[in-house]
Amino acid sequence: MTHDVWVEVDLAALKHNFAQVKNVVGNGVKITAVVKSNGFGHGYVEPAKAFIEAGADMLAVTRLDEAIILREAGIESPTLLFAPIQPENAEIAVNADLEMTISTIELAHTISDAAQRLGKTAQVHVKIDTGMGRLGVSIDDAHQLIQHVHQLPSLEIAGVYTHFATTSEQDASSSKLQLERFTQLLTDLRRSDIDYGLAHCANSAAIIRMPDSHMDMVRPGTILYGQYPSTHVPHTLDLKSTWKLKARICEVKELKSGSPVGYGGEFVTRRITKTAIVPIGYADGFTLAPEGPIYRQSALKFAVRKVRKRLFLDINGRKAPVIGRIAMQMTVIDITNFAHIRVGDEVTVPAMRIPTSALVPRVYVG
């Protein structure tokens, strides 16, 4: 079937970006490829397979349902769940051989009990809150928790980790303080002869900005998909674009001068205007943003910036302006200055990757 709207994913570019990370961290550091949130909009399964082929030691997702998609696709690679599971799902996670995040004694006991019932040994990673203020056991209580978990049957600590709060910010000093706290904890654990498995804390920004944070394993996310976390992170890698949202023109027509376009008739043509209709809209993720800056700034600043920005679709490297309101699944563009535009011609649509609808087919190339 010819798709009206689709996301083109370049698997070769994903592997190339993984190799860039490998070049930075070297052979002595393991790499967990983060494929959460539908593989940052690229899909779960094919990108995960690509990263494994490229040499990923582990995969990571946030939620249990994401990991089950990988397992049902036959992907058996070690897979870490970032979010603590719901207690009633412990047996499902253990049976699927998933590595689970814990930060409380209660969840550790729940997983231990589930593993005993199934006759298996569960793998867990202890999450430490070193200053992010989100998930994790307090740095002050971490030693005691890890010591307690070691005493539980059918439970093995595969790793301990933390997450940085400011590695993408201009001032990353608080992340450096987090690293100091985490490093001191590891030192204390070794002095107590406690095996904590793999120590890991470096996200995409830290991989580039904080070499001391590489430790036993790193967790690249956004850089695998061809994007830097922010302008404050040195652009030192040769990252390749991995993702394009595309659509096909479904109708071409000419409007008289003075013709209203779209809902509300807010746009009115001032000349004879040749238009193309593209079956894509806000339900698909169009109008949210051309890349992914929204999560790196306040919502207010982002909204103001968006209001001032005119939207365009790309046709063979040329920009065609959007006219009228963007509807749920329809957009009108002005192609008056374009020659030989026909039904079926491809356009490239600027959009955020992660919020682009998972219902839009992903087509893999490379």
Query: What tens digit of pLDDT does each residue of 322-361 get?
Result: 999 999 999 999 999 999 999 999 999 999 899 999 999 9
Amino acid 288: pLDDT: 59
91 near 72, Cβ under 8 Å? no
Strands 267-268 and 198-202, by their bridges, are unpaired
Is residue 263 part of the annotated active site? The answer reads yes
> Which residues are within 8 A (CB) of 298 and not within 5 positions of it... i.e. 6 or more apart?
none
CATH number for domain 243-365, candidates 3.30.420.40, 3.40.630.30, 2.40.37.10, 3.40.50.720: 2.40.37.10
Amino acid 300: pLDDT: 46
Q: Is the domain defined by 11-225 classed in CATH 3.20.20.10?
A: yes
57 near 32, Cβ under 8 Å? yes
Amino acid 287: pLDDT: 79
Nearest Cα neighbor of 205 from 171, 241, 160, 159 is 171
Report the alpha-carbon angle 272-278-284, nearest 5. Answer: 140
Residue corresponding to tokens 């992340």: 175
Radius of gyration, alpha carbons of the chain: 24
Report how far apart the first and last C-alpha atoms of the chain are (Å, whole number): 20
Catalytic residue of the set 15, 22, 30, 36: 36
d(CA 238, CA 226): 9
Structure-block tokens of residue 58: 């582990």
237 near 218, Cβ under 8 Å? no
Amino acid 292: pLDDT: 44
> Bridge-partner residues for 61, per DSSP?
81
d(CA 177, CA 201): 13
d(CA 224, CA 239): 8
Largest CA distance in the chain: 81
Amino acid 291: pLDDT: 44
Residues of the chain with CATH 2.40.37.10: 243-365
Catalytic residue of the set 253, 263, 309, 319: 263
Structure-block tokens of residue 104: 């409380």
Residue corresponding to tokens 């996301």: 7
Residues of the chain with CATH 3.20.20.10: 11-225
Question: What stretches in the chain show pLDDT beneath 50?
Answer: 289-300, 302-304, 306-308
* DSSP three-state, residue 283: helix
Fill in the DSSP letter of residue 310: P
Is residue 253 part of the annotated active site? The answer reads no
Structure-block tokens of residue 316: 């063979």
d(CA 54, CA 49): 9
Amino acid 211: pLDDT: 97
